[in-house]
């Protein structure tokens, strides 16, 4: 039975991940990330390294829970270690801001917390459930002020599907 499940998993996963995830931004919730203390040194100074390191830290420190409370307060999330998409985005933004600050490039980036619709393979995932928790989805929107490039980063779905960083 284990062999059959493994084959099934290997067959389905590449097909599922072959669909691009798109985001339709509905609103910006806030533009000022909360602070968090991080004692780490990033050896690489390219923006993708900053983004992926912040995702790695967020995924290592948090567990997803729709029932988690206090999702707008990073210090509370840091204590409970649980969050849903709102908390994951708040936490990710705080971690990313601290990484950028430690690397002396924070002034080059604008980090925003956005509310969006998630579209996978042409299907709006936020509309397929009657559960109000899935009405919309929270993501990080990072703008490189020098180049104008905009990145949509999804900390909570990255927990399940691997790092999701979409360049607009």
Strands 63-64 and 21-30 come out as unpaired
> How confident is residue 131, by pLDDT bands cut at 50, 70 and 90?
low
Q: With 0-12 CB in 10 A as exposed, 13-18 as middle and 19+ as buried, what is 70?
A: middle
Task: Check if the beta carbon of residue 153 is closer than 8 Å to that of residue 113.
Answer: no
pTM of the model: 0.82
In whole angstroms, how large is the CA radius of gyration of the chain?
A: 16
Q: Which phi and psi (to 5°) does residue 47 adopt?
A: -60, -35
Where exactly are the structural domains of the chain?
22-36+43-167
Q: What is the DSSP letter of 35?
A: P
| Residue length of the chain | 168
C-alpha torsion sign, points 104, 29, 90, 16: negative
pLDDT digits (tens, 9 = 90+) for 16-57: 445 678 888 888 987 778 888 877 766 677 899 999 999 999
Mean pLDDT of the chain: 82
Whole-number pLDDT of residue 13: 42
Look up the CATH architecture of domain 22-36+43-167.
Roll (3.10)
């Amino acid at each position: 039975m284990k062999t059959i499940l493994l084959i099934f998993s290997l067959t389905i996963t590449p097909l599922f991940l072959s669909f691009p995830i798109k985001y339709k931004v509905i609103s910006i919730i806030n533009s000022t990330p909360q602070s968090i203390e991080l004692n780490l040194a990033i050896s690489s100074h390219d923006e993708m390294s900053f983004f992926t390191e912040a995702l790695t830290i967020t995924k290592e420190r948090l567990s997803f829970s729709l029932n988690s409370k206090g999702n707008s307060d990073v210090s509370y999330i840091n204590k409970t270690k649980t969050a849903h998409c709102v908390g994951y985005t708040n936490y990710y933004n705080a971690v990313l801001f601290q990484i950028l600050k430690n690397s002396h490039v924070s002034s080059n980036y604008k980090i925003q917390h956005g509310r969006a619709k998630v579209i996978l393979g042409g299907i709006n995932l936020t509309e397929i459930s009657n559960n109000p928790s899935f009405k919309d989805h929270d993501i990080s929107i990072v703008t490189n002020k020098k180049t104008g490039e905009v990145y949509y980063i999804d900390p909570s779905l990255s927990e399940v599907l691997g790092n999701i960083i979409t360049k607009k």
